Amino acid sequence: MYKLFLCLRYLRCRVIAYFAILAVALCVAMMLIVVSVMNGFLAKVERAAKGLFGDIVLESRSTEGMGLYDEFIAQVHKNVPEVEAASPFILVPCYLRIPGGNWSQIVQAAGIRLPERAAVTGFAKGLFVQAGGASPTFDPPIAQAIDCLDGQIKFIEAQRASLPGSQGDRTAALELETRLDNALLAHLGAKAILRRAKDRQAAIAESYAKLRAAYAESHGEPTDKTEAAEKQLEELTLAAGWLDPSRHIIMGLGIPGLCFRTDEGKTIRFICPGSKVSLSLIPLGSGLGAAPSLNSKTFTIVDDCQTDVSSIDSGIVYVPFETLQQLNNMAASYSADKPGELAIPARCNQIHIKVRSERTDEQYLETVRAKVERQARDFHDAHPEAMMGDVAVQTWRQRQAVIVGPIEKQRTLTVIMFGIISLVAVVLIFVIFYMIVFQKTKDIGVLKAVGAGSFGVAQIFLAYGAAIGLVGAMVGTVGGYYFVRYINPIQDAVDRWFGFRVWDREFFMFEKIPNEVEVAPALLIVAGAIVAGLLGALIPAWRAARMQPVEALRYE
Amino acid sequence: MSEPLVLVQGLHKSYRLGKVDLHVLRGVSFGLTEGSFTAVVGASGSGKSTLLHMVGLLDRPDRGKIVFAGRDVTSLPARRRNEIRCRDVGFVFQFYHLLGELNVLENVLLPAKVDSSVFAWARRRGQARRTAMGFLDRLGLRDRLRHRPKELSGGERQRVAVARALMNRPRVLLADEPTGNLDSASGRGILDLLKQSNRRDGQTILMVTHDISLAEQTDKVLALRDGQLSEA
């Protein structure tokens, strides 16, 4: 009883114990922050890679790509039950510009199938217009887009209203005001386009009905009437700028020059759904000829996507798979000699596969990967025209090994470094306890005089050390948790006040610093702190236990 | 004649001070009968405290034997010695040796806590508090229960130390210069307390002091000279 009693009393009454608690708390908070940020960073890399590639990626090493992908996917579904979904994918570098404007940027154009892709990756999660929808398409309802723009317009107006007046940094405020004005104009313009498109939907439907009637009347033969109806429909469609899903594009939300971030971390667009962009690319799908020509197409923006991975959001735009196939000369070509006979099948660069199981460990994915690879070999043997002889089948981790490997090593190194730094807490506890044992020499003598055993005396100091470790760990965990939780606002505040930014989103690939604390590492750190407290108290406790009561009582 | 409660036979103890062996006790023998109040007098450094520490099992003799309640306790293992110290021996020191972090009541309760596990204390707590309060009442410290030792006078501190020594109702009370650090009035008060405890409760007391006038107020006075004990 006396051990617990004295331990708690020493903990409460001795001011020096608070310094030991503070040291432990700081070390625990430091470790928690480092481990959480590093683990979060790795988890984000994983999520990003899986968000882009799925669990397993089948990639052609040839620029011409691989054909018969639908047949291959059907075979994989049939023979590899672990595969839940698969989708073909094209990724090509292209030149993105706003028609009639000066802005342009080199980005990657991703040809995807919607909603198929949403089943393979988490693509649907970050959409703006189709937020939270399970089946995103390249043809979302106009009304939905208008609602989204309305929300954004309100937000921009609120931002504008909250701009500082004469106080504060006037230059920065003016710059922000100009940006907000431009964004507001873009939103209002886009909204007007969408409204017109919506208004014309009825007219288009009517015009389409007229066209059908004209063709019915002429038994399918083109006449002046059908031509007039076609022309009217085309004019209306072009004016609406919305109705051809094959010419729709989903932008990455983060392309430099097309949006900006507020201090609160909100992204404001300069270009919105309803606006047009143009894509130009050198088609690599049929190899580079002697004089490669540029393929271009104008697209209407229907949505944008934010994955929170800076490198993806700032450099990828999504267009319908078949459209990009055409643009990149990967569509099927037919024999010139024998019309109707397929010369080269339609192709894609990659096939992304999602594995059915909730198990996502590398060992399991590797098993499925091997099965898919075997299927690819078999398919190539059976269908040489599919050009699947030179494909790489990799799990997401294997594909991202160049990125994930160094980050994992860096995490281990950082944890070791900070672990060594945390040993300072052990030394500090040792010094403090050594001092306390010296100060308490007479108390130890008295305790032994009233019958306390050596082990009992040692237990007081060991429990005292463990208690310091526990209390310090609890304080540090709470502090570290809230620091990690609010790490992004803290960084923004530091940036605002001191102009010092630790997290460079261009360098670290992600928009925000990871801010999730995992339970298992946190528990491990708390346990480590208690052990550190025990270790620090061990030698002083041993010394106290060995102390002869007579010497202790005589100690001056 | 009844068998003594404590019997000391041929006790030897020496210390090494630098290169010199200091023979403090050279064959000390004596007995304490139950309910007796014995004083050991001697000059400063004569080995009185050493003798007391050995009788209280805080130290081990080089040679000789200590018999407690008919049992040789000289070479008992530490655990058994701790038990005897806790239950059968009470110490009063010259410099009180109260624990500064504890208040008066907690200091007095300390031996009872040392003698109890957490569960045993839960059962025993009420009774122990009543006992401690009874002692403190008798010693006139009822209104000082929550005070820390540093808030008390020397005499009050020593009264708390006496209460603590009596807390587990030990069979023998060992007092090491209990008045040595007090003014004469306080010293007299402490001695009266010890006498009262001896006469009223039959408490066996062994007190070492260099003050002959105090020693004369006990039943028996032993003098320690040159490491040997003789009846004064």
pTM over 0.90: no
Distance CA A146, CA B159 (A): 88
pLDDT confidence of residue A338? 74
Cβ neighbours, 10 Å, residue B212: 12
- Best probe of the A interface among B50, B86, B103, B113, by most A CBs < 10 A, is B113
Of residues A339 and A82, the one with the higher pLDDT is A82
Considering chain A, what is the average pLDDT of its residues?
A: 84
Query: What ranges make up the beta strands (E) of A152-294?
Result: 248-252, 259-261, 267-269, 276-281
- Do the chains contact at B86 and A451, CB–CB below 8 Å? yes
Asked if the C-beta of B171 comes within 8 angstroms of chain A's C-beta atoms, the answer is no
Distance CA A18, CA A312 (A): 48
Asked if the C-beta of B116 comes within 8 angstroms of chain A's C-beta atoms, the answer is yes
Which chain B residues are Cβ-neighbours of A4 within 8 angstroms? Answer: 118
Of residues A353 and A160, the one with the higher pLDDT is A353
Q: Taking Cα atoms as reference points, which of A264, A265, A352 lies closest to residue A308?
A: A265
DSSP, collapsed to helix, strand or coil, labels residue A356 as: coil
Shortest distance, CA B31 to any CA of chain A (angstroms): 22
Q: How confident is the model at residue B175 (pLDDT cuts 50, 70, 90)?
A: very high
Determine phi and psi for A242, rounding to 5 degrees.
Answer: -140, -25
Least confident of A104-108, A357-361, B221-225: A357-361
The C-alpha torsion from A442 through A443 and A449 to A454, rounded to 10°, is -100
- Per-residue pLDDT, averaged over A40-52, amounts to 77
What number of C-beta contacts closer than 8 Å exist between A and B? 72
Pairing of strands A66-67, A347-348: antiparallel
**Percent of chain A's residues with pLDDT above 70:** 93
- Best probe of the A interface among B50, B91, B97, B169, by most A CBs < 10 A, is B97
What token pair was written down for A236? Answer: 């209306």
Q: Which of A454, A456, A550 minimises the CB distance to B59?
A: A550
Of residues B153 and A405, the one with the higher pLDDT is B153
- Ordered strands of the B71-72 beta sheet: B20-32, B6-17, B63-68, B71-72
Report, in angstroms and rounded to the nearest whole number, the Rg of chain A calculated over CA atoms.
33
Residues of A with CB under 8 A from a CB of B: 1-2, 4-6, 9-10, 13-14, 442-443, 445-454, 456, 548-550, 553
- Best probe of the B interface among A446, A448, A547, by most B CBs < 10 A, is A446
Please state the ipTM of this predicted complex. 0.90
> Is B219's pLDDT higher than 60?
yes
- Per-residue pLDDT, averaged over A51-74, amounts to 86
What token pair was written down for B35? Answer: 């309910």
Judge contact between B209 and B194, C-beta under 8 A. no
What token pair was written down for A265? Answer: 């971390």
Q: Which of A446, A454, A548 minimises the CB distance to B99?
A: A446
- Per-residue pLDDT, averaged over B77-101, amounts to 91
> Is A86's pLDDT higher than 80?
yes
The reply to whether omega before A115 is within 30° of 0 (cis) is yes
Which chain B residues are Cβ-neighbours of A442 within 8 angstroms? Answer: 97
Looking up tokens 């630790």, which residue turns up? A502
- Do the chains contact at A453 and B79, CB–CB below 8 Å? yes
What token pair was written down for A412? Answer: 């281990």
What token pair was written down for B46? Answer: 């004569």
Counted residue by residue, chain B has a size of: 232
Judge contact between B6 and B30, C-beta under 8 A. no
> Is A311's pLDDT higher than 80?
no
What token pair was written down for A251? Answer: 């932008």
Sequence-separated (6 or more) residues with CB below 8 Å from residue A411:
A35, A38, A39, A41, A42
Q: Which of B87, B97, B111 minimises the CB distance to A553?
A: B97
Which residues in B118-142 are b (16+ Cβ under 10 Å) and which e?
eeebeebeeebeebbbebbebbebe
Break chain B down into helix, strand, coil percent, rounded to 5: 40, 25, 35
Least confident of A26-30, A225-229, A392-396, A474-478: A225-229
> Is A94's pLDDT higher than 90?
yes
Q: Taking Cα atoms as reference points, which of A166, A156, A357, A188 lies closest to residue A268?
A: A156
Nearest residue on chain B to A446, alpha-carbon basis: B97
Distance CA A447, CA A454 (A): 10
Distance CA A345, CA A203 (A): 39
Which chain B residues are Cβ-neighbours of A445 within 8 angstroms? Answer: 97
Judge contact between A86 and A77, C-beta under 8 A. yes
Q: How confident is the model at residue A225 (pLDDT cuts 50, 70, 90)?
A: confident
Least confident of A383-397, A481-495, B199-213: A383-397
Judge contact between A138 and A114, C-beta under 8 A. yes
Q: Which of A10, A451, A550 minimises the CB distance to B114?
A: A451
- Do the chains contact at A449 and B118, CB–CB below 8 Å? no
Q: How far apart are the first and last CA of chain B?
A: 21
Judge contact between A43 and A309, C-beta under 8 A. no
Least confident of A294-303, A337-346, A527-536, B206-215: A337-346
Q: How confident is the model at residue A374 (pLDDT cuts 50, 70, 90)?
A: very high
Q: Indicate the DSSP class of residue A168.
A: S
Q: Which of A2, A453, A550 minimises the CB distance to B58?
A: A550
Nearest residue on chain B to A12, alpha-carbon basis: B101
Judge contact between A234 and A244, C-beta under 8 A. no
Shortest distance, CA A13 to any CA of chain B (angstroms): 7
Shortest distance, CA B1 to any CA of chain A (angstroms): 31
Which chain B residues are Cβ-neighbours of A10 within 8 angstroms? Answer: 101
Asked if the C-beta of B101 comes within 8 angstroms of chain A's C-beta atoms, the answer is yes
Residue A122, classified by CB atoms within 10 Å of its CB into exposed (0-12), middle (13-18) or buried (19+), is middle
Query: At CA A200, angle to CA A197 and CA A205, rounded to 5?
Result: 120
| pLDDT one-digit tens code per residue, A458-475 | 998 888 888 888 999 999
SS3 track for B194-227:
HHHHHHHHCCEEEEEECCHHHHCCCCEEEEEECC
Query: At CA B212, angle to CA B207 and CA B214, rounded to 5?
Result: 55
CA distances from A465 to A24, A526, A537, A540 (A): 11, 14, 5, 10
Cβ neighbours, 10 Å, residue B100: 13
- Do the chains contact at A451 and B82, CB–CB below 8 Å? yes
Strand (E) or helix (H) holding B92: strand B89-92
pLDDT confidence of residue B206? 95
Strand partners of residue A318:
A110, A250
| pLDDT one-digit tens code per residue, B32-62 | 999 999 999 998 888 898 999 999 999 999 9
Q: Taking Cα atoms as reference points, which of A140, A281, A251, A278 lies closest to residue A198?
A: A140
Which residues in A362-394 are b (16+ Cβ under 10 Å) and which e?
eebbeebbebbbebbeebbeebeebbbeebebb
What token pair was written down for A154? Answer: 């309100």
Sequence-separated (6 or more) residues with CB below 8 Å from residue B116:
A1, B124, B128
- Per-residue pLDDT, averaged over A513-539, amounts to 85
Break chain A down into helix, strand, coil percent, rounded to 5: 60, 15, 25
SS3 track for B144-207:
HCCCCHHHCCHHHHHHHHHHHHHCCCCCEEEEECCCCCCCHHHHHHHHHHHHHHHHHHCCEEEE
Q: Which of B56, B82, B113 minimises the CB distance to A5?
A: B113
| pLDDT one-digit tens code per residue, A375-420 | 998 888 888 877 767 888 998 888 877 777 887 888 888 888 888 8
- The gap from C-alpha A164 to its chain's centroid, in whole angstroms, comes to 33
- The gap from C-alpha A100 to its chain's centroid, in whole angstroms, comes to 33
Which chain A residues are Cβ-neighbours of B121 within 8 angstroms? Answer: 1
Distance CA B176, CA B188 (A): 15
Q: How confident is the model at residue A556 (pLDDT cuts 50, 70, 90)?
A: low
Asked if the C-beta of B83 comes within 8 angstroms of chain A's C-beta atoms, the answer is yes
Distance CA B185, CA B207 (A): 18
Q: How confident is the model at residue A289 (pLDDT cuts 50, 70, 90)?
A: low
DSSP character string of A391-423: EEEEEHHHHTHHHHHHHHHHHHHHHHHHHHHHH
- Do the chains contact at A449 and B85, CB–CB below 8 Å? yes
Determine phi and psi for A57, rounding to 5 degrees.
Answer: -120, 130
Judge contact between A11 and A464, C-beta under 8 A. yes
